[in-house]
Amino acid sequence: MEIRIQGVKSMNGKRVLGLLIAILIVASAGCLGGETTTDTKPETADSMHTSGINSTKTNTGIDSSSSNRETGDVDLESIVGKIETYSYHQDALMKLDVTTTEGNITMNTNVSMLIIENGYVDTVGRKALVNSTITILPDNLTENMLQIVIGNKTYIKTSFGVNEINFTTLWDSHPLRLVEAIIQEEPLAKYTENGTTVFVYSLSEDVILPLAEAYLSPGDSNVTITDAVLEIHVANGTIIQIKLAYSLVAKMSSDDAFGHIEVIETGTWKSTVRITSINEKREVEPPTT
């Protein structure tokens, strides 16, 4: 399948990243042709979360005895407030049931998106650098992406070239930002085990949308988020791990020389972010072409 992108440099940031992912997903679905399933289950991704976690207090999927364990005195807000820069490693898995309609032809397939990401975020200096490898299974379509953010200017480097864009999506969706958005809320559960205190929060759709749309929204599309749950793991007085799970529905369409294409994606996202350093400042410069 030959894939061409025209006018990428004129798009906003959301469209560049979202379009890249949409192309990979649709290409995989199109190459498969017909109704297909896959048993691919990467251990690192599927073991990220306990099953059955739900956003309601009555069905969290957490052992009911866990909330009665000794939690100690952990001031999460104070911990977050002391973080000015941090580096992280993320493993994420998005599983999608994709329905692609072009004219009178409809194709249904199951697609998995594996994301391995290493990032650095300076929340004070407003600089960030994120290296991502995105693989679409089962066709093993892979794209490496470098995202550099300096203030409100973002540089995205992929196999299609370097795009310089004015947008601020990363500042609304980086891992620590999700934590900042909910630490004033009452957690669904809180427990300490083996020296690690775990906070479990339900997230509203507006908190997750910037992250979900960055991967799934190439323009005029609609993304709905449900059952979003965030786990924050704290040990030795700092955040060591952040886990996120949610369900989603994304609808998008486009018209081009090949006709009208409509894509509906239904699925789940699960990710684990491991914090690798805190307040170790790094230089962030624009990428070379």
Q: Mean pLDDT, the chain, as a whole number?
A: 79
Radius of gyration of the chain (CA): 19
Query: What are the extents of the domains in the chain?
Result: 8-278
DSSP letter string over 121-168?
EETTTTEEEEEEEEEEETTTEEEEEEEEEETTEEEEEETTEEEEEE--
pLDDT, tens digit, for every residue of 161-175?
A: 888 887 678 898 999
Helices (H), the chain: 13-32, 43-46, 76-81, 169-173, 175-182, 205-216
Mean pLDDT of 20-34: 52
- Using the predicted structure, report yes or no on whether residue 51 has a pLDDT greater than 80: no
Predicted pLDDT at 49:
44
DSSP state of 8: G
Q: What is the dihedral of CA 139, 107, 250, 62, to 10 degrees?
A: -70
Q: Which is nearest to 111 in space by CA: 2, 21, 244, 198? A: 21
Q: pTM to 2 decimals?
A: 0.77
For residue 3, name the pLDDT band (cuts at 50, 70, 90): very low
Burial 42-66 (b: 16+ CB within 10 A, else e): eeebeebbeeebbbeeeebebeeeb
- Using the predicted structure, report yes or no on whether residue 92 has a pLDDT greater than 60: yes
For residue 213, name the pLDDT band (cuts at 50, 70, 90): confident
Predicted pLDDT at 118:
98
> What percent of the chain is modeled with pLDDT above 70?
73
pLDDT, tens digit, for every residue of 123-133?
A: 999 999 999 99
Which has the higher per-residue pLDDT, 37 or 206? Answer: 206
